Amino acid sequence: MDLRNTLFMKRESKRSYHSRPIPKGVMDRLWERIRWSPSSSNAQPWRFIFVSDPEQHQKVMAGLARGNQWAAKAPTLVVVCARKEDDHIRDDNGVQYHQFDCGLATMSLLLGAVEEGLMGHPMAGWKHQPIAEALGIPDGFDIMCVVSLGYKAPIETLEGRAREYDESPRTRKPINEVITVDRFDFSVD
Ligand SMILES: Cc1cc2nc3c(=O)[nH]c(=O)nc-3n(C[C@H](O)[C@H](O)[C@H](O)COP(=O)(O)O)c2cc1C
């Protein structure tokens, strides 16, 4: 099987967007995919807020880092949040499953986006307060990620840093640095 044409390989975090809105039917299917994500003890702790209203969109943009202002063109910004109280606590391992599960559900969104001809780009560069205030996110909920979502535009629509990033090749560590078989066989600094 050639991996090149699979969703996994077609998913990418680029920065050039058309402002064309996402049709409702497409949105509904994305939501359904998110809903069916796996979670520890099936707790489904994720809360996704899809922001397409221009005024709300602008407010979320104001909370994004300067280096993420290319996201302004994306018609929808998705804010992923969760609270620790909804965690499936396991005393024996200390993993924050509400965070882990949000990651899984966000991947559902990202791969679902590819399947729908869209591009999602996850971001960690934002400030909690302005986004929480604009969207009415209650105390106790942490924002995990903001994802820009929309149809990809040609790279020529970008300029400056964002264009430089998108022109540089996507890279990965070699397999032997991240995966081993039967034992922890990685070099550790
Ligand atoms: C949790 C998370 C946070 C990220 N934050 C940002 C960000 O703030 N700004 C940005 O331009 N890209 C951000 N990225 C995108 C990564 O840089 C990108 O996923 C990585 O370089 C691999 O490229 P690829 O997604 O095209 O495979 C983030 C990705 C993840 C998963």
Express each pLDDT in 104-134 by its tens digit: 999 999 999 999 999 999 999 999 999 999 9
Question: Which superfamily, per CATH, for 16-152?
Answer: NADH Oxidase (3.40.109.10)
- Top pLDDT among 93 and 184 is at 184
Residue 117, ligand 1, Cβ within 6 A = no
Tokens 């796996």 sit on residue: 38
Geometric angle at alpha carbon 151, from 157 and 19, rounded to 5°: 65
Query: What spacing in Å lies between the alpha carbon of 53 and ligand 1's midpoint?
Result: 24
Express each pLDDT in 126-166 by its tens digit: 999 999 999 999 999 999 999 999 999 999 999 999 999 99
Report DSSP state, residue 17.
Answer: B
Tokens 């990418």 sit on residue: 12
Domain extents in the chain:
16-152
Pocket test for ligand 1, best of 9, 80, 123 (most atoms within 8 A of CB): 123
d(CA 145, CA 69): 15
What pTM value is reported for the model? Answer: 0.97
For 147, phi then psi, to 5°, come to -120, 125
Give 48-78 as a DSSP string.
Answer: EEEE-SHHHHHHHHHHB-GGGGGGGGSSEEE
